[in-house]
Chain A
Amino acid sequence: MTKSRIKTWLLMLPGAGMLLSLVLLPLSLLLLFSLITGNQISINSDLSFSNYINIYERGLFGPLMIKSLLIAFFVTLSAIVIAYPVSYGIAKVVTPRWRNTLIILIIIPFFTSQLLLIYSIMVMLQSRGPVMSFLSIFGADPTRSALYSNFAVYLILLYQFLPYMVLTLYSSMSKIDDNIIAVARSMGAGRRRVFFDVILPLTSPGLLSGIILVFIPVAGSFVESNLAGGTNGMMIGSLIDSNFSVSLNLGRGCALCVLFLLVISAVTFVIQRSIRYFAGRRL
């Protein structure tokens, strides 16, 4: 028994060590600094909640957080809707020879640079660019464009995070035994039934991972909204960023971050529980 325990600890050592020193420690620092007011961190600083009170009074956090959550929600939902058929196709339908190729192909654009791709999308969407020129055939005004709006931000974020959803779903999808699907069909289940009662529950681990890897970063993003969001595009990430990079208010930046973490963890927890519940009912 002890030998097995030691083995477990040994296996966990590198991972746990990293977790402790590189995640938990910074997190504690974050909490600590969020209680310090003012711009200078020194040993004698008093601890207080004044940063949080200030944030509440300013009233910016709430609306921005909600907007970010909404955008994250729509992006994640769209990613799920697109990634399911695609990952199913790669895992089950395509010939085995092409499987790995298609998987690698989907991330090849990201072997270049994400920032560059964002710019390219903007070039595509901008006025007198390819998309608007094409749409002008149908009567749209080519000197306007869809850029500098929430839609543009949504599109760019969807583009950036779709591959993650595809990859996570693929990894779950490939484990589903083909026979199970065949059996379900032979018992008379239509396509819809097969999806909701067989595929969805069996891929729920991949789905949950995908949600974490898409929903959370999108909610905290700010580069895309800064570039393409227009004047109304500000998200919670920009607020956090400006407190760290522009003003020198480390304490308030940390407090904003702590609030962000609390909200996003709570929301993610709720989403995960619901999915596990729905998946569990059918398993």
Chain B
Amino acid sequence: MKRLLVILLAMILLLSTACQADNGEATVPDGTGQETTDPGEIRKLVVANWQGYGSDAEYAIREFEEANNCEIVHQYFDSEEALLNMLRQGGIGEIDVCLPNMSYVAIGKREDMFTPLDTSKLENYKDLREDLCTVEDIKDEDGNVLGVPWTWGTTSLGYNPDAVDEEIDSWAALWDPAYKDRIAFFDDHTTAVMIAALYSGEDPENPDLDKIKTVLLELKENARLFWSSYDSFANPYTAGEVVMGSVWSGAATQLNATGQKMEYIYPKEGTVAWVDYWSIPRNAPNEDLAYKWIDWMTSVEFQSTYAADLEAQPPIPTNNKVFEVLSDEVKEALYVTELPEILAFQKELSPEVNEAWLDIWNEVKAAN
């Protein structure tokens, strides 16, 4: 028994020293979960974002921390709903700034979770894409803006040019029996319904759900797997299990940048697009810092660095001035040189519609 305790204790000590080697300060728990800081010295800015989505890049954090004498703490979420739940359950009052999708800014608006923004405090606001700044979904009743557009991208069709002989130009390829069992489809109910709508000629914002369900069931027959994160697409793609699928623009950029070929096209029926906004939740402890952060994130300096870092899966920046700075190579890699005519943006869905779409998708997935 003693020998056993020795084994376990030694294991733990050794492992811990290995971890401490690259770890400056250990987080000391004091029951409240707050790191004790000297008051008045270093403030903490709590940023809620996806992991690896630009805001936690080394250069981003370092520059801001130095310029403002503060510390950035990231709180990650892995789905939009997770962000909302985080805000609902204790996040208000803790989180300074967060990144909801356009449709979720609208939900946050309904639940009064975001502070109306004073855009005069933001230097770079005037340089951002006009249409994304003025869209109705992100404004409250008084016309105040609740979010600042940061990046956007598309979820479109990507395929392996080495494995696919013909040139693809339509969503119909996903339903083509020639590629049976070689298709990967994004596991998200909104995207699924919208793509099915585009394919079958329905209105992506208000489609006939019965028709959509039939179409999606056919797709499921043809598909090999549903992916929900970059890795669960990239792995089968690089191994040759799938040759085609619905992917994010950033995923295509990263795959090409890391040596895996992918042809990313905008089908003639149109493509799904999404926009991410920075918002400040109510009762943010460091509102002034949050404004500075948003300004930094939308600056030409940051956005051009991020966009040029092709291996980091960059989305499309919203600051128009950035495009003057980027090289043509990068612009091609980001697929912004020829944008499609029909861009179906993922917009706000009422709870009933959201649930109806989710139910359809679940039924499709569960069917045998």
Chain A residues proximal to chain B, CB less than 8 Å: 38-39, 58, 60, 63-64, 100, 104, 119, 122-123, 126-129, 143, 145, 147-148, 226-227, 230-232, 234, 238-239, 242, 245-249
Contacts and interface: CB of A to CB of B under 8 A. Distances in A.
A64 B239 contact: no
A60 B3 CA distance: 53
A60 to B, nearest CB: 5
Interface of B: 3-4, 7, 79, 81-82, 84-85, 187, 189, 220, 223-226, 228, 231-232, 235-236, 239-241, 351, 354-355, 358-359, 362-363, 365-366, 368
A186 B7 CA distance: 39
A60 B355 CA distance: 15
A239 B366 contact: yes
A129 B235 CA distance: 11
Interface-centre pick from B81, B224, B354, B366 (highest chain A CB count, 10 A): B366
7 contacts: A60-B362, A63-B368, A64-B366, A100-B3, A147-B241, A227-B232, A231-B225
Contacts of B7: 100, 104
A63 B358 contact: no
B241 A231 contact: no
A242 B362 contact: yes
A122 B226 contact: no
Given A60-B363, A227-B232, A246 B84 contact: no
A127 B239 contact: yes
A148 B241 contact: yes
Nearest to B80: A246
Going nearest first, the 3 A-B pairs with the smallest beta carbon separation are A126-B239, A148-B225, A247-B358
Contacts of A129: 239
B81 A58 contact: no
Contacts of A249: 355
A58 B359 contact: yes
Contact of A230 (B81, B85, B224, B366): B224
Contact of B354 (A60, A104, A145, A247): A247
Contact of A248 (B84, B223, B366): B84
